[in-house]
């Protein structure tokens, strides 16, 4: 079937988009000149890259880990995307060098994983549930497709086609093949990318096979566990529940995927699975898979997502617990999970053309994902809590280093999230200054944006078709915006008649030089959580536009839990070019619970007094860049 079988629109390629934006351009530049080189050095210094030389000997340190390959793969992907927008001969040559090492590590039968080649070669494919072989293969495939699409070079693509062919010979429905699935999903979406890059339907069928394996009874992971030694099986502790016994909800294996309606288990695994499900559904016309994706989206985004777009509250399983369970200081909210949420929502956006998906992309992008990297591009959060006592800080690297190269590849590929197209419509999802080249209504089209977003909601859009043509220009009206105005060539338009699934669709005969102006009102808003979110009861969070704010001790040198915000307190947004690289901060008159008259008492019958207090809140993504101290997103309210 056509790749567009179930998509109402298609993304505009990263190579066709130029970002020239006051907010994002500096971050993309920092990602290019600081983050990507920093991550290469970390991969080099920790042995991840040279491990592909296969020279490791027993007793040597460090011992290659079974997920190391994926860290290098994501670095390759980030570096490749960077080349798409900023050609760099030195980086291009470095990529070639690393790719040659990977190619040299491929075994005669096509297999490719450092750990199971040099450390424990007798354990290949023994523990799919927890040993990440297929996960690493997926990331290497993604890297290969990205590198090929950007550079046109087939070296890594050919290597990974050979590996995918080998995997397809091992796993499948035939009598001489193995049932099985990855405990950590990723290869499912990667195989669809490989299918799209090569046209080889075998890869799509293999992706569907892995998806269909989930939830079978008995579980493929339970059958696998029966053949593992006690030592090899100890890492599979996540597959057991004290009450239920064997339970693979940790890796979304509790039910067949088409029957699932509640998001469970490890958050990153879930997001990658749902992304793969959406991809397979698009390519095969599987409406049942899409219905499952929509049910799961409702559960994630309406009952289990933080106000920052973070997901996965529990450190125990790096994932989900139950509806409305959203603790703050103990929030896990892994950076990779927010990024996975973006991946999945972009896929659903192209299937349904509904702005609610782009709203989630924007929320996670500006808050729960962007918080994962420091302003200087060289320190990272793995975990993104919504409150801190002052002891949580970004690090230069991690033993499990999935998050740093993941945020790098997201930022490097940002241009691919801004625009979409179909035969009759152009879409703008994100308001990021620059331009995109589209093809709509049989004509080439350049769309240019200029704004100070996310600090200001005034956006100017220039539409320049190569020839006059009639088509719809769809502008997302963000879910956070409660008042908007729209002009075309100076004439104000009524928005309600234009609304289609959260987009204002302007259908007209467009000509070169047409100008659209969109004004999205950006007052400071108080966000209230659902009453079932006990951890936010009696509190509000502050937002303005797409940005969620927090209190930091650096601005508020008092115990933050004692700050109380009255409902009628005036809040003002002020741009401070000297603060945290230039941000809008929120200032307002609040109250502070006073302890000066307690005389050393622990309890008393009289209510505590309050005194006036001036609070300052800063963007959540930028916290932990000054002296260590408390932070909290949710503020007591009365």
For 7-28, how does the pLDDT look when each residue is reduced to its tens digit (9 = 90+)?
999 999 999 999 999 999 999 9
Which CATH fold would you assign to the domain 419-520? Answer: Immunoglobulin-like (2.60.40)
More confident residue, 2 or 31: 31
Q: Under a CB-based contact definition with an 8 Å cutoff, are residues 347 and 279 in contact?
A: yes
Q: Tens digits of per-residue pLDDT, 70-92?
A: 999 999 999 999 999 999 999 99
End-to-end CA distance of the chain: 57
* CATH assignment of 19-417, among 1.10.760.10, 1.10.620.20, 1.10.3720.10, 1.50.10.10: 1.50.10.10
pLDDT, residue 231, reads 83
Using DSSP, how many helices (H) and how many strands (E) does the chain show? Answer: 15, 25
Q: What is the mean pLDDT of residues 278-303?
A: 97
Taking CA 65 as the corner, what is the angle to CA 64 and CA 66, rounded to the nearest 5 degrees?
Answer: 125
Cα within 13 Å of Cα(367), Cβ side = 30
**Which one, of 589, 584, 545, 598, lies nearest residue 567 by Cα?**
589
Range with the lowest mean pLDDT among 177-191, 232-246, 566-580?
Answer: 232-246
Q: Where are the domains of the chain?
A: 19-417, 419-520, 525-637
As to burial, measured by CB atoms within 10 angstroms (0-12 exposed, 13-18 middle, 19+ buried), residue 284 is middle
pLDDT, residue 225, reads 86
Report whether pLDDT(236) > 80: no
As to burial, measured by CB atoms within 10 angstroms (0-12 exposed, 13-18 middle, 19+ buried), residue 557 is exposed
- For residue 584, list its beta bridge partners: 575
Answer yes or no: pTM beyond 0.85.
yes
pLDDT, residue 241, reads 65
* Max Cα distance, the chain (Å): 80
Residue 1 confidence class, pLDDT cut points 50, 70, 90:
very low
pLDDT, residue 2, reads 40
**Residues assigned a catalytic role:** 318, 402
**Which one, of 261, 273, 245, 272, lies nearest residue 299 by Cα?**
261
Q: How far apart are CA 555 and CA 563, in angstroms?
A: 12
pLDDT, residue 244, reads 67
Q: What is the mean pLDDT of residues 119-131?
A: 95
pLDDT, residue 242, reads 58
Q: Tens digits of per-residue pLDDT, 547-573?
A: 999 999 999 999 999 999 999 999 999
Q: What is the mean pLDDT of residues 370-397?
A: 98
pLDDT, residue 227, reads 85
- For residue 589, list its beta bridge partners: 614
According to DSSP, residue 535 is labeled G
Report whether pLDDT(191) > 50: yes
Q: What is the mean pLDDT of residues 592-598?
A: 95
Report whether pLDDT(178) > 70: yes
Report whether pLDDT(390) > 80: yes
By DSSP bridging, strand 525-527 and strand 484-488 are: unpaired
Mean pLDDT (the chain) is 96
3-state class (DSSP) for residue 464: strand
Report whether pLDDT(187) > 90: yes
Count of positions (residues) in the chain: 638
| Percentage of residues in the chain having pLDDT higher than 90 | 95
3-state class (DSSP) for residue 515: strand
């Amino acid at each position: 079937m056509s790749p567009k079988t179930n998509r109402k629109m298609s993304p505009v390629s990263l190579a066709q988009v130029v970002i020239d934006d006051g907010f994002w351009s500096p971050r993309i530049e920092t990602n290019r000149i600081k983050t990507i080189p920093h991550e290469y050095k970390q991969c080099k210094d920790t042995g991840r890259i040279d491990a592909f030389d296969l020279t490791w000997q027993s007793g040597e340190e460090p011992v290659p880990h079974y997920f190391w390959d994926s860290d290098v793969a994501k670095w390759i992907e980030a570096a490749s995307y960077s080349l798409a927008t900023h050609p760099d001969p030195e980086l291009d040559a470095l990529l070639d060098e690393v790719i040659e090492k990977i190619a040299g590590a491929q075994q005669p039968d096509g297999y490719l994983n450092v750990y199971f080649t040099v450390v424990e070669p007798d354990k290949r494919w023994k523990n799919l549930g927890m040993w990440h072989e297929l996960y690493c293969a997926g990331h290497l495939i993604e890297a290969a497709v990205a590198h090929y699409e950007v550079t046109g070079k087939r070296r890594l693509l050919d290597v990974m086609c050979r590996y995918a062919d080998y995997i397809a010979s091992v796993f499948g429905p035939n009598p001489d093949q193995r049932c099985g699935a990855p405990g950590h999903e990723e290869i499912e979406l990667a195989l669809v990318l490989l299918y799209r890059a090569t046209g080889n339907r075998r890869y799509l069928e293999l992706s569907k096979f892995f998806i269909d394996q989930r939830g079978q009874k008995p579980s493929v992971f339970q059958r696998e566990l029966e053949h593992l030694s006690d030592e090899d099986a100890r890492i599979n502790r996540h597959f057991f529940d004290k009450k239920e016994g064997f339970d693979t909800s940790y890796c979304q294996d509790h039910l067949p995927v088409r029957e699932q309606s509640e998001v469970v288990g490890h958050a990153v695994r879930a997001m990658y699975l749902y992304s793969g499900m959406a991809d397979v559904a698009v390519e095969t016309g599987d409406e049942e898979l899409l219905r499952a994706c929509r049910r799961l989206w409702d559960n994630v985004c309406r009952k289990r997502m933080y106000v920052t777009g973070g997901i996965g509250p529990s450190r125990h399983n790096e994932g989900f617990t139950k509806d409305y369970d959203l603790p703050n200081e103990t929030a896990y909210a892994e950076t990779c999970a927010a990024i996975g949420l973006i991946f999945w929502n972009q896929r659903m956006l192209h299937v349904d053309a509904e702005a609610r998906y782009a709203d989630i992309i924007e929320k996670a992008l500006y808050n729960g994902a962007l918080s994962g990297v420091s302003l200087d591009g060289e320190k990272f959060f793995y975990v993104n809590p919504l409150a801190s006592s002052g002891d949580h800080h970004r690090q230069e690297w991690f033993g499990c280093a999935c998050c740093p190269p993941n945020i790098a590849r997201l930022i490097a590929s940002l241009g691919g999230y801004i625009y979409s197209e179909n035969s009759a419509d152009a879409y703008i999802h994100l308001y990021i200054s620059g331009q995109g080249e589209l093809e709509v209504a049989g004509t080439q089209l350049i769309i240019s944006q200029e704004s100070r977003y996310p600090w200001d909601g005034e956006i100017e859009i220039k539409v320049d078709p190569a020839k006059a043509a009639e088509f719809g220009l769809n502008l997302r009206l963000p879910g956070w915006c409660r008042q908007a105005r729209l002009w075309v060539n100076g004439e104000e338009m009524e928005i309600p008649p234009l609304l289609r699934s959260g987009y204002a669709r302007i259908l007209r005969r467009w000509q070169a030089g047409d100008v659209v102006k969109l004004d999205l009102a950006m007052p400071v808003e108080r966000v209230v959580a659902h009453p079932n979110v006990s951890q936010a009861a009696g509190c509000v969070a502050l937002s303005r536009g797409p940005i969620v704010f927090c209190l930091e001790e650096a601005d508020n040198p008092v115990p933050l839990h004692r700050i109380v915000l009255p409902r009628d307190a005036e809040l003002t947004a002020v741009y401070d070019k000297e603060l945290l690289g230039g941000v809008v901060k929120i200032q307002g008159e609040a109250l502070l619970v006073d302890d000066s008259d307690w005389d050393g008492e622990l309890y008393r019958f009289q209510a505590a007094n309050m005194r006036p207090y001036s609070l300052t809140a800063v963007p959540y993504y930028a916290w932990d860049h000054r002296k260590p101290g408390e932070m909290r997103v949710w503020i007591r309210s009365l």
